[in-house]
Amino acid sequence: MRTARNRMAAAAAGLSVVALLAFASPAAAQEVKKATVWGDLGFVTQDMLNRAAGDGNNFLHPQHNYAQTRYYPNSQINTSNVHKLRPAWIFQTEVNETMEVAPIVVNGVMYVTTAFNHVYALDAATGEEIWHYKHKMGPITTYCCGPNNRGVAVAGNRVFMGTLDAKLVALDAKTGKLLWETQIADPELGYSETMAPIVVEDKVIIGTNGGEYGIRGFVKAFKADSGELLWTFYTIPENSVGEWRETDPMGRSLNRDIQAEKAALEKLGDPYEHLGGGVWQTPAYDPETRRLYFVVGNPSPDLDGSIRPGDNLYTDSLVSIDVDTGEYVCHYQYIPHDVWDLDAVSPPIITTVKDENGQDVKGVLHGGKLPYVFVHRADDCSLIRYSEPMVPIENLWALPTPEGTRMLPGANGGVEWSAMAINPVLRYVFAANLHQPMTYHVESTPYPEGKLWLGGAFKVIPGEEQWGNVTAIDYDTGRIVWKVRTEQPMIGGLLATAGGLVFAGEGNGWFKAYDAASGAVLWQFQLGAGVNAPASSYAVGGKQYIVVAAGGNVQLNYKRGNDIVAFTLAD
């Protein structure tokens, strides 16, 4: 029989059980995470990858989504509250060297890479380390512009990374254990990887570095479960000569000596074998048409055109290929027979744009070293318009000379490899720019079997003013809407959000939030090392974060560091 005491005890027990349950539910939620609308914990489905543009919790691609808009669809952090943004956590990697990584986040797990190919999996809410993979680097690595890495691709329960010794590795997403690795190409000849790969269904797709070493560039597709090579698209066709186009997209003369080039072609034959044409950054993908869009880097050797006659296809071009077969669909070459290393590097963006008649069409945007934003039709790669120039142009297309010719933009010009971002509501594209005056020197040397081969040198002009911009351009008209100057040339990339913000970092350590509509600086934070990587965003437990790497940069010699820093709103 229940005494009063027992009843009270029972009641107390009952209460405490209830209390326990109440306090326990967060813990219980952690232990038993249910499958979300977007998929099981950790497992990245193709559906998730396809729908990433609408995903305001994860950050599944280096440019957020296949279209590469870098537009984050979460407005919890917005123009009215961003002034309350403060660090949530700091993770310090083992590698104190340049960082160019775009963090990937899958259901609260963040994946970042470092220079020299470490991968970390971190708890995105707390910054604590889950696992750490160190690539066993071979003795031969080749890179012109820093031992950096731009990040991983995720699909299924795997994480993929390209390495400086030209390998593609697949890791188990839960444990970081190596599942397979494959040699993409021979590093002794100048091939290596710094880009983040892309996964489409059963294929991991990756380009290559090496345009400074006389490679023959490509995009390759490997089987995601085994690393077996599926197809190769050479960015340099065997007939690389093209149509002998003598002008840039604006109609200005490139000062080519077609006679001399044709004579050289007679003598030397088609230069395709060592013509360069790396693909530096992740391709965009259109699941509707099943086409990849990417931009191709400079011809080899960078400055000396005398031994590579012809247009040098498809260097300095936007190219589209079929994802299933790797076959060519269309291209647009920005600079035929480039001798200034003004190659196409910044990752292209697929979005709806207005054509010449004001009609909406599927378009592709690219920001060049030639400092314009180019707007193309996606179906045939043709150019619709180009923007106003974003940084000064001087003495354009003056040919390099042995003593050195000053020309603007310098070879790190315009947008360089920095990722752009769009706000599709405003229909603006945002770009980080460089103004870094240089002289171009040419000196002809024969192919040096895998050594650095610039055909001359670029010299930064010491004592001359350098600076940068964050520029917003209306891509339906090409007009510059706003432009904010920065103290130093910018390199890294931008993130735009549905909160009406644009996040951009600078080499002096400042990480800033701009108002997307006006360019007003609404928030900034000093990170202590160059912020030369593009930011990502994600949400955990309903709280939005902005995360960025601060490790400096090799090309511009910004202060090195080893931090990943996540920010969130103060309570």
- Applying CB under 8 A, the residues found at the interface with other proteins are 97, 139-142, 144-147, 402-404, 441, 443, 445-446, 448, 451-463, 552, 554-555, 557, 560
Examine residue 301 and say whether the peptide bond preceding it is cis (omega within 30 degrees of 0): yes
The smaller minimum CB distance to other proteins, of residues 346 and 412, is found at 412
Residue whose CB is less far from other proteins, 147 or 227: 147
Buried/exposed 383-401: b ≥16 CB within 10 Å, e otherwise = ebbbbebbbebeebbebbe
| Three-state DSSP class for residue 4 | helix
Q: Which of residues 336 and 456 has its CB atom nearest to other proteins in the complex?
A: 456
Which residue from 146, 150, 160, 111 is spatially nearest to 131, judged by alpha carbons?
111
> Between residues 235 and 439, which has the closer beta carbon with respect to other proteins?
439
CB of 44 to other proteins, least distance (A): 33
Tokens of 343: 């190659």
CB of 138 to other proteins, least distance (A): 9
CA gap 240, 47 in Å, rounded: 38
Kindly tell me which of 445 and 526 has the beta carbon lying closer to other proteins: 445
DSSP assignment of 424-466, as one string? TTTTEEEEEEEE--EEEEE------TTS---SEEEEE-TTS--
Minimum distance, C-beta of residue 208 to other proteins, in the bound complex (Å): 17
Shortest Å distance, C-beta 571 to other proteins: 39
Shortest distance (Å) from residue 453 CB to other proteins: 7
Quote the radius of gyration of the chain (alpha carbons, Å).
25
Would you say 197 or 410 has its CB closer to other proteins? Answer: 410
Residue 428: partners with Cβ closer than 8 Å, 6 or more residues away:
422, 472, 473, 474, 475, 481, 516
CA distances from 79 to 83, 497, 500 (A): 8, 10, 6
Least Å distance, CB 139 to other proteins, is: 5
Output 101 or 378, the one with its CB closest to other proteins.
101
For residue 40, what are the β-bridge partners?
A: none
Q: How far is the CB of 533 from other proteins (least distance, A)?
A: 16
> Considering beta carbons, is residue 97 or 316 the nearer one to other proteins?
97
Nearest CB to other proteins, comparing residues 462 and 542 = 462
Reported as type and span, the H/E element at residue 12 is: helix 4-31
Q: Smallest Cα–Cα separation from 472: which of 526, 408, 420?
A: 420
> Do the Cβ atoms of 56 and 72 come closer than 8 Å?
yes
Cα separation of 152 and 169, whole Å? 10
